[in-house]
Amino acid sequence: MNKRFDYYKACPEATETMLKLEEFIKGSGLDKTLYELIKLRSSQINGCSYCMDSHTRDLMKLGESDQRLYLLSVWREVPFYSEKERAVLALTEAVTLIAEAGVPDEVYEQVRKQFDERQFMVLIMAINTINSWNRIGIATRLLPDQK
């Protein structure tokens, strides 16, 4: 597989718009580790190899344990994630797979126990942003660097 084209060179305005969303989220007060867990889980679901590689590395830089990284795709089955992380991971999966069941009331309520309405919107924007990056990466065949 080869990269199809450089999406930034093809349309820098679109990329700059995406980067503005990233800046909004980074400035929102959302915990960095939580944001990276959103990015990695969504990228796993969507199958974006570039994003999976990138966000795994970012989580490692933040001090995330190998065990939690390896088991993120089965987070419901292990006791290694906090209630706040579980709420966010459930929301991430629901929004990423929105066509399957929408966002069920129990997921919404789980998230709202941990976050207010503004924070809920920040989470939605964080999930939407990584889903957009995943789609850009997959459509242009953005591949991780081989190290």
Which amino acid type is present at position 58?
D
Query: pLDDT digits over 56-108, tens only?
Result: 999 999 999 999 999 999 999 999 999 999 999 999 999 999 999 999 999 99
| 12-139 carries CATH number 1.20.1290.10 | yes
Q: What angle do CA 64, 67, 73 make, to 5 degrees?
A: 95
Q: What is the mean pLDDT of the chain?
A: 97
Which two tokens mark 135? 């789609």
Quick one: which of 90, 22, 86 has its CA closest to 54? 22
Report whether 104 contacts 94 (CB < 8 A): yes
Which two tokens mark 33? 């580790």
Report whether 11 contacts 119 (CB < 8 A): no
To which residue do tokens 């629901």 refer? 94
